[in-house]
Amino acid sequence: MPSSSVSSSASSAASGATLATITPKPWFVYLVRAANGSLYCGVSDDPQRRFVAHQSGKGARFFYSSPAVALVYIEACVDKREALRQERLIKQLKKSAKEILVASLAGGFEAVINPPS
């Protein structure tokens, strides 16, 4: 009997190793434009859901004084660690450089997320 439980444990360990090699869920760095024109940079595994949270006043205190109006930039990263690195780099940029990132999407993204009314 003990040998079967040992082999059962061994097979569980083997399948656990397989789970470790599965590609991690992608994370994203995103920029949100506030009503006052400023840009907020954050990370999320679902930037659309996070943007909706920002619009409803949940999440970052950044939007207490000026509400979130548009999700203007999203960059996919392989994992959370890489997304946090990218966020740190983007936050160090001047606003003019962040605007270049937004413009790199040629305005198409902002129009899709927030179509004119």
Whether 1 maps to a domain, the answer reads no
Domain containing 32 equals 27-113
Structure-token match 């760095």, residue found = 29
Residue 9's pLDDT band (cuts 50, 70, 90) = very low
pLDDT digits (tens, 9 = 90+) for 69-108: 999 999 999 999 999 999 999 999 999 999 999 998 755 5
In a domain, 89, yes or no: yes
Does any domain span residue 18?
no
Give the list of residues 6+ apart from residue 98 with CB closer than 8 angstroms, or none. Answer: 31, 39, 41, 90
Average of pLDDT values for 11-18? 49
pLDDT digits (tens, 9 = 90+) for 31-67: 999 999 999 999 999 999 999 999 998 888 899 989 9
Whether residue 72 is contained in a domain is answered as yes
In a domain, 33, yes or no: yes
Give, as one character, the DSSP assignment of residue 45.
S
* Count of structural domains, the chain: 1
Q: What is the pLDDT, as a whole number, of residue 39?
A: 96
Does residue 20 form part of some domain? no
CATH of the domain at 108: 3.40.1440.10
Tell me whether residue 102 is in a domain.
yes
